[in-house]
């Protein structure tokens, strides 16, 4: 009898799960950014004095976040303040934190900064230099055996975007679609937001999606770990170059604190331990930001009617 009852419960669970699955996959738009709010936690005694540094999950994998934590701790020591890392699922959430005082600074995205750079309360401190260059590009990837050879071939296909404010993982492909008279909603079969360049990359490798726009950094990192990656994937479009890895300050920091952070970032590579952390992130160094490198993204946003 107990065994019969257990079997019945199992069948009921399977039927419920199947029903939920059919509803979830019937939608054309899947938004992975919707999360369940976490319970409120009690503040620690030093929370008010802590340097609150925001990082988005787009910066995954975990070892990447750990290296940014190392850099954040170094910057905190320069300001003589403990550091509190705030993880958020999207760049829009981080922008909101910077504007409402919930974060003091952030390791931001190029697209995120370009979208919010005109808003008072967000100030660019430094940007990255990688492989000797202060800019990067996005790659639109498909599998090597795919029948997709151009953006026009994406009709009715499934695409993995990273974040609505990501330049390489969203904006540049949307711009290309609009140039051709399309939108993701009326042209693609379905699209998802993965919240991470690595997750989009893996979704393509595992054939969950047909195409994925990702940062070139992710592709170059994959080449190191898998020398055969060029035989598994193809690049069918490359974005215009744009500024990379902006570090921004919110409105809560004083002018003196911003100056200290800027100076510390620009000399970070001279510290042996910080040089190792930068190396793990494939960053040469932080450099004086050049606003003109973010202009191509701003123009795309304006051309898209103010939408990322």
**pLDDT in the model for residue 89:** 81
**pLDDT in the model for residue 225:** 87
Please answer whether residues 88 and 237 qualify as being in contact, where contact means their C-beta atoms are separated by less than 8 angstroms. no
d(CA 197, CA 215): 7
d(CA 286, CA 266): 5
Task: Give the count of domains, the chain.
Answer: 2
Closest CA to 217 of 189, 239, 249: 239
d(CA 130, CA 172): 20
Q: What is the pLDDT of residues 66-85, one digit of tens each?
A: 899 999 999 999 999 999 99
HSE-CB for 157 with a 13 A CA cutoff:
23
Place of tokens 């202060």: 134
CA distances from 75 to 19, 62, 70 (A): 50, 20, 9
* Mean pLDDT, residues 91-106 taken together: 92
**pLDDT in the model for residue 3:** 44
Q: What is the CATH number of the domain that holds 146?
A: 3.40.190.10
Task: Look at residue 272 and tell me whether its pLDDT is greater than 60.
Answer: yes
Co-location of 150 and 57 in the same domain: no
Residue 29: band (very low, low, confident or very high) from pLDDT cuts 50, 70, 90: very low
**pLDDT in the model for residue 278:** 95
Co-location of 123 and 255 in the same domain: yes
Residue 298 CB partners (closer than 8 Å, separation 6+): 114, 117
User: 99 or 305: whose pLDDT is higher?
Assistant: 99
Tell me, yes or no, whether 296 lies in a domain: no
Co-location of 178 and 221 in the same domain: yes
Domain span including residue 70: 51-128+244-291
Co-location of 149 and 225 in the same domain: yes
Co-location of 233 and 250 in the same domain: no
Task: Look at residue 60 and tell me whether its pLDDT is greater than 60.
Answer: no
Co-location of 204 and 251 in the same domain: no
Q: What is the pLDDT of residues 101-121, one digit of tens each?
A: 999 999 998 888 988 887 888
């Amino acid at each position: 009898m107990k065994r019969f009852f257990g079997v019945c419960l199992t069948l009921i669970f399977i039927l419920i799960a199947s029903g939920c699955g059919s509803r979830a996959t019937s939608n054309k738009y899947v938004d992975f950014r919707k999360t369940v709010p976490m319970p409120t936690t009690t503040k620690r005694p030093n929370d008010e004095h802590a340097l609150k540094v925001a990082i988005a999950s787009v910066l995954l994998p975990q070892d990447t976040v750990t290296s940014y934590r190392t850099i954040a701790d170094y910057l905190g020591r320069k300001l003589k303040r403990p550091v509190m890392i705030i993880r958020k699922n999207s760049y829009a959430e981080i922008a909101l934190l910077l504007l409402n005082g919930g974060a003091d600074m952030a390791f931001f995205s190029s697209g995120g900064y370009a979208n919010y750079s005109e808003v008072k309360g967000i100030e660019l401190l430094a940007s990255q230099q990688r492989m000797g260059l202060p800019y990067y590009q996005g790659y639109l990837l498909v599998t090597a055996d795919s029948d997709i050879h151009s953006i026009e071939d994406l009709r009715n296909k499934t695409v993995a975007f990273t974040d609505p404010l990501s330049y390489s993982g969203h904006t540049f492909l949307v711009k290309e679609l609009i140039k051709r008279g399309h939108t993701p909603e009326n042209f693609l079969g379905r699209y998802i937001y993965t919240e991470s360049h690595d997750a989009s990359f893996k979704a393509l490798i595992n054939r969950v999606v047909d195409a994925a726009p990702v940062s070139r950094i992710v592709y170059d990192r994959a080449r190191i770990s898998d020398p055969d990656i060029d035989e598994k994937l193809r690049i069918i479009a490359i974005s215009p170059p744009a500024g990379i890895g902006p570090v921004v300050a919110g409105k809560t920091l004083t002018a003196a604190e911003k100056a200290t952070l800027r100076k510390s970032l620009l000399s970070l590579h001279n510290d042996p331990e910080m040089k190792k952390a930068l190396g793990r992130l494939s960053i040469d160094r932080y450099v004086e930001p050049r606003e003109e490198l973010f202009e191509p993204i701003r123009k795309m946003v304006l051309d898209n009617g103010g939408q990322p």
